[in-house]
Amino acid sequence: MNDPGYRVLLCDLRTDQLLDVLPVQGVALDDWIGRSGAMSGTIPIPNAALAARVRSAVQPGRTAVWVERGREIWWGGIVWTARVASSDRGYLSVAIQAGGWDTYLDHRIAYDTHKTPTGGADQFDIVRGLLDYCQRTPGGDIGIEYGTETSGVVRDRTYLRYDLPRIRDLITQLAATDRGFEWRIMSYRDPESGRRVKRLQLGAPVIHSGVSDIVLDHPGPVLAYGWPIDATVQATAWQSRGASTNSNQTADSHPLMSELLVDDAAIAAGSPRLDGSSDYSTVVEQATLDAHARADYTRARAPVTIPEITVRVTEGITPALLGSAIRLRIRDLWWPTGLDQRYRIVGLSLSPPERGRAETARLYLEAV
């Protein structure tokens, strides 16, 4: 990076042993609650010595990458792709792309059947059990840590090995159920030992961070904002489809169906009928399917609005803000009487300083 306060550390994924610290240009990174973060950048190769270092340190699928700003860890994940390129003038470079630690769970499959004990288990314990399954297999421990917090919501789940489910898909579906939760794998440096930490963060119904609101004004610290409103996935009626309920292959097969949910009040008030659906091909329990349908229906009833604001990176603007609340105040032509509302930060995209451009962060918001 151009800023001397940044470093990109390349480490062995399983042991976290430092392999090298290499110059990386054009770095872009983001982190989210509810979806995977990403990092990309380009390593210039001016000579044979650096080429040998890159070949040794950058091994997609085996190399972990940590982004430091000063002494703080701002991002961590796994290098999944690398592309060697030569320009028409013979300049060599390697472009890398990395995904957050949770993307590792996209590459792990439940080859064994998992079933909660009689009476069910707290949904957080189900997540930790799936993570334990991943990390207890030979070669599967990448050092993800977790706590003992509980959600207070007990669920019964059976995950069949015949479905070959991806571990991340199982956690995502569990989280998206009615009375569900949020999860992410955060990166930070332990303040006492100084070691780099990957830690599972869980929150029900949502992840909250910080104790007091940050006040941001436009005009002021907020340099720019965007206010997308998307009704393409809005629905006033919803039904979800589960697994086939017929094991007799010679007879007609029909899938399990949830109850049909209709927003009669919105339709009576003038909203059009907008139908929506979702598929859960491995769900065989009616109660579980209905819980998925209610959660999907709740999310679909209003247009998707995820405001985004751009701010300069100051001492208080860090990836640790994910889950924190801010008070956003805007007064301009669109908001002539002024907007004054609380939001939760659910995503952050960092633009490091480049020539002629200050270091900025784009914050993605959710109303609270």
Kindly calculate the radius of gyration of the chain based on its CA atoms and give it in whole angstroms: 23
Largest CA distance in the chain: 71
User: What's the pLDDT tens digit per position in 98-118?
Assistant: 999 999 999 999 999 999 998
Q: How buried is residue 280: exposed, middle or buried, by Cβ count under 10 Å (0-12/13-18/19+)?
A: buried
Q: Give the per-residue pLDDT at 368.
A: 87
Q: Which of 307, 305, 320, 319 is nearest to 364 (CA)?
A: 307
Mean pLDDT of 132-147: 97
Mean pLDDT of 225-241: 95
Tell whether the model's pLDDT for residue 254 goes beyond 90: no
Q: Which CATH number fits domain 108-203: 3.40.720, 3.55.50, 1.10.600, 3.30.70?
A: 3.55.50
Instruction: Give 1's pLDDT tier (boundaries 50, 70, 90).
Output: very low
Q: In this predicted model, which residue has the larger pLDDT, 89 or 110?
A: 110
Instruction: Give 249's pLDDT tier (boundaries 50, 70, 90).
Output: low
35 Cβ contact list (under 8 Å, min separation 6): 347
Mean pLDDT of 149-168: 95
Q: How many Cα atoms sit within 13 Å of 48 on the Cβ side?
A: 0
Tell whether the model's pLDDT for residue 16 goes beyond 80: yes
CA 73/CA 91 separation, integer angstroms: 31
pTM given for the model: 0.90
Cis peptide leading into 353, omega within 30 of 0?
Answer: no
- The answer to whether residues 104 and 140 touch, using CB atoms and an 8 Å cutoff, is no
Tell whether the model's pLDDT for residue 200 goes beyond 90: yes
Q: Give the per-residue pLDDT at 354.
A: 72
Indicate the residue type of 226.
G
CA 267/CA 279 separation, integer angstroms: 25
Place of tokens 């390697």: 94
Q: Which of 100, 78, 106, 98 is nearest to 11 (CA)?
A: 78
Instruction: Give 5's pLDDT tier (boundaries 50, 70, 90).
Output: low
Place of tokens 């006492």: 192
Tell whether the model's pLDDT for residue 301 goes beyond 60: yes
CA 127/CA 167 separation, integer angstroms: 9
* CATH architecture of the domain covering 214-228+306-367: Beta Barrel (2.40)
Tell whether the model's pLDDT for residue 4 goes beyond 50: no
Mean pLDDT of 77-97: 95
- The answer to whether residues 33 and 323 touch, using CB atoms and an 8 Å cutoff, is yes
Q: Give the per-residue pLDDT at 190.
A: 94
Mean pLDDT of 252-258: 87
Q: Give the per-residue pLDDT at 250.
A: 57
Place of tokens 């207890």: 136
Quickly name the fold that domain 6-102 has.
Phage tail proteins - horseshoe like beta roll fold (2.30.300)
Instruction: Give 358's pLDDT tier (boundaries 50, 70, 90).
Output: confident
Indicate the residue type of 91.
Y
- What are the CB-based long-range contacts (under 8 Å, 24+) for 257-266? 257/289, 258/286, 258/289, 258/290, 258/292, 258/293, 259/290, 259/293, 261/237, 261/293, 261/294, 261/297, 262/236, 262/237, 262/238, 263/236, 263/237, 263/301, 266/236, 266/301
CA 312/CA 285 separation, integer angstroms: 49
Q: Token pair of 298, please?
A: 């709740």
Mean pLDDT of 165-185: 96
Report strand pairing: 38-45 vs 92-100.
Answer: antiparallel
Instruction: Give 246's pLDDT tier (boundaries 50, 70, 90).
Output: low
Q: In this predicted model, which residue has the larger pLDDT, 90 or 257?
A: 257
Tell whether the model's pLDDT for residue 251 goes beyond 80: no
Mean pLDDT of 250-271: 90
Measured on CA atoms in the order 49, 52, 58, 63, is the torsion positive or negative?
negative
